[in-house]
């Protein structure tokens, strides 16, 4: 059960990471040295929510494996 929880945690983390991406309008900010810092956009809110739930299930599975 611990390994299954770890797999869920990895999958949830990847879903959260891939829910963000390059800003479609190429928006950026400039830092104090004048360098451009391109902004990320929240592209896939469903992936984000699903990733949070999968991550939560993974942590609960790992927690339960300690008691069973």
Torsion angle (degrees, nearest 10) of CA 10, 12, 16, 19: 110
pLDDT, tens digit, 9 for 90 and up, residues 2-59:
899 999 999 999 999 999 998 888 888 999 999 988 888 999 999 999 999 999 999 9
User: Which alpha helices (DSSP H) does the chain contain, by range?
Assistant: 2-18, 45-67
H/E element, 30? strand 28-30
Any idea where the domains of the chain sit in the sequence? 2-67
The pTM assigned to this predicted structure is 0.79
């Amino acid at each position: 059960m611990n390994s299954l929880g770890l797999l869920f945690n990895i999958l949830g983390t990847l879903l959260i990471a891939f829910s963000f991406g390059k800003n479609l309008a190429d928006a950026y900010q400039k830092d104090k040295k004048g360098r451009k810092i391109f902004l990320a956009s929240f592209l896939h809110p469903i992936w984000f929510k699903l990733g949070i739930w999968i991550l939560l299930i993974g942590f609960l599975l790992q927690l339960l494996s300690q008691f069973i």
